Amino acid sequence: MRAVLWDLDGTLADSREFHWCAWRETMRTAGVEITESQFQASFGQRNDTILTNWLGGAATPDRIREIGDAKEARYRRFIEDEGVTPLPGAAEWVRKLQGERWRQAIASSAPRLNVEVMTRVLGFSSAMAALVGAEDVARGKPEPDVFLVAAAKLGVPPDRCVVVEDADAGIEAARRAGMRCVGVGGANLASADVAVRSLMDLADDAFDRLIGGTRAR
């Protein structure tokens, strides 16, 4: 009864460039130019939040849905056509945990179709017992919903789950869910139970120690 709940973008893989290209092309088609700095500021947010900020008074529910769906379709085409590779250490850890009979899930703010495509292209489908996307929760991170739903799908209590995240909002969501957290890659991950630049830097027993209640180093 132990589980690892993986964030997706920035943790298992980096598809930021695909997101940027998809947003830029989609917004241009909609008659709105966005800058890369605007995109960077929005990264990790839900589409309804992003488009409300970018469209202002033109952000009707129908318009948000139309543009959001078009962007995600473009993004998935990029992933399918060009492929994406796991970040350093990601594939090794997923396989190691699978071999040690940890239950694993992807818990992401991305649309479910994106999560499904990314998981398949990365080659992680057989290792993941559950996939949770934006449609599965009412509130995004830093609210804990996405991780609590993933834990429930796996049948594992929150205090037996370890979250792997690359963003402050995700780490806060893990804390609110009552779960331990590994922070990866970012510069401001001090609130994680253990923070590393890369998954390759994690100690071999890092997840076991976190479930055991020890703050890993």
Last residue of a domain, one of 82, 99, 124: 82
State yes or no: is 159 an active-site residue: no
Could you tell me if 91 and 149 lie in one domain? yes
Does residue 217 form part of some domain? no
Same domain, 53 and 142: no
From 57, 82, 107, give the residue that closes a domain.
Answer: 82
Domain match, 178 and 206 both? yes
Residue 105 and residue 142 in one domain: yes
Residues 108 and 203 reside in one and the same domain? yes
Residue 46 has pLDDT above 60, yes or no: yes
DSSP 3-state of 15: coil
144 with 61, same domain? no
Return the pLDDT at 217.
43
Instruction: Give 162's strand partners.
Output: 4, 180
Read off the CATH number of the domain in which 163 is found.
3.40.50.1000
Do 103 and 200 lie in one domain? The reply is: yes
- Does residue 216 sit within a domain? no
Q: What is the pLDDT of residue 43?
A: 75
d(C-alpha 59, C-alpha 122), whole Å: 34
The residue among 35, 55, 82 that closes a domain is 82
Q: Which domain holds residue 188?
A: 3-13+85-211
Residues 107 and 203 in one domain: yes
pLDDT at 214 over 90: no
Query: Above 60 in pLDDT, residue 216?
Result: no
Give the pLDDT score at 44.
67
7 is catalytic: yes
Tokens representing 52?
A: 């409300």
Are 74 and 95 members of one domain? no
Q: Would you tell me how many other CB atoms lie within 10 Å of the CB of residue 134?
A: 19
Is the pLDDT at 52 greater than 60? The verdict is yes
Q: Among the options 9, 145, 166, 193, which is catalytic?
A: 9
76-129: pLDDT as tens digits: 999 999 999 999 999 999 999 999 999 999 999 889 999 999 999 999 999 999
Q: Give domain status of residue 120, yes or no.
A: yes
Q: Give the contacts of 151 (CB within 8 A, at least 6 positions apart).
A: 3, 5, 105, 157, 158, 161, 177, 179
Whether the per-residue pLDDT at 213 is higher than 80: the answer is: no
99/168 same-domain check:
yes
What's 28's domain CATH number?
1.10.150.240
Number of domains observed in the structure of the chain? 2
Q: What is the pLDDT of residues 3-30, one digit of tens each?
A: 999 999 989 999 999 999 999 999 999 9
Q: What's the pLDDT tens digit per position in 151-201?
A: 999 999 999 999 999 988 899 999 999 999 999 987 678 899 999 999 999
Number of Cβ atoms within 10 Å of the Cβ of 209: 18
Residue 206 lies in a domain: yes
Let me know how many helices (H) and strands (E) the chain has, helices first.
9, 6
Distance, in Å, from the CA atom of 68 to the CA atom of 55, rounded to the nearest integer, reads: 12
pLDDT at 187: 64
Are residues 110 and 181 both part of a single domain?
A: yes
Residues 116 and 32 both lie in one domain: no
For 163-182, the DSSP string reads: EEESSHHHHHHHHHTT-EEE
